[in-house]
Amino acid sequence: MTAPLLTYPHAGMYVEIRYDYDAGDPRDDLDNLGSIVGWKQPDLKLGDRQVSIECTSPAEIVEALRKDGVRLILPIFYTSHGPRCNLHMGDIADEDSLTYCSGVVYVSGEKLKSELGVKRVTATAIKKATRLLRAEVAEYSAFLTGDVFGFTIRDDAGTEWESDWGFYGMKDCEHDANDAAECSAEQQQAETEEAHEMACRDIPTVAA
């Protein structure tokens, strides 16, 4: 096991956070609301499928999606700086954004209704779906960058109490790690009290 990236005390336990080098691609492993199509690039396979824009334009691709019943289409932008990269979602798939984006994330009207449990695709449904898509794109960005983490909870003696892996982003990993540390501390306290109670039962009584 690699050395912890971060170690800190919490609730009487110690939290160790490490990179998760075995994490799967969230586009393959998770049940995503949106589908991602990326413009074919020589050094990057982006999204669920890739298309070449040498013979067609992003605007034509988007128009074809709309004809197929897609109700929500948003641009995604990929940037790379050395070993680091970032993927973020834009607010509208207009002519300007389609000129510079690296692909789009989209949802059909039927899937919006079935996944959100609504009869009509209202503005409220679109807003909720947009939040979900933004979270999915953030998870995918973390995977592409390598920002996937796991945690281990240990006590003062170094005994492992709990661990979990596959967190796309440090914030979610720390949140769940802290919750796990608190639960482990409660479990340790309960076991200590039970052991003390059992030990007390073995104490011989002195007749009066």
Is residue 56 located within the same domain as residue 86? yes
* Per-chain mean pLDDT for the chain: 91
88-123 pLDDT per residue, tens: 999 999 999 999 999 999 999 999 999 999 999 999
The verdict on 38 and 76 lying in the same domain is yes
**Both 43 and 139 in a single domain?**
yes
Asked if residue 1 belongs to a domain, the reply is no
Closest CA to 74 of 132, 17, 161: 132
- Which of 105, 122, 145 delimits the end of a domain? 145
If asked whether residues 105 and 61 sit together in one domain, one would say yes
Q: Are residues 76 and 119 in the same domain?
A: yes
Specify whether 57 is located in the same domain as 19.
Answer: no
Close Cβ partners of 105 (under 8 Å, ≥ 6 residues apart): 34, 35, 36, 47, 73, 74, 76, 89, 133, 136, 137
pLDDT in tens, 65-74: 999 999 999 9
In Å, what is the CA distance from 65 to each residue of 25, 31, 200? 24, 21, 72
Q: What is the pLDDT of residues 147-204, one digit of tens each?
A: 999 999 999 999 999 999 999 999 999 999 999 999 999 999 998 888 777 777 765 5
- Asked if residue 158 and residue 140 are part of one domain, the reply reads no
pLDDT at 208 > cutoff 60: no
Residue 178 lies in a domain: yes
Task: Yes or no: say if 106 and 48 are a contact pair by the CB < 8 Å rule.
Answer: no
| Average pLDDT value for residue range 129-152 | 95
Dist. CA 89–CA 66, nearest whole Å: 19
Q: What is the band of 82 on the pLDDT scale with cuts at 50, 70, 90?
A: low
Please give the residue range of the domain that contains residue 196: 6-23+149-201
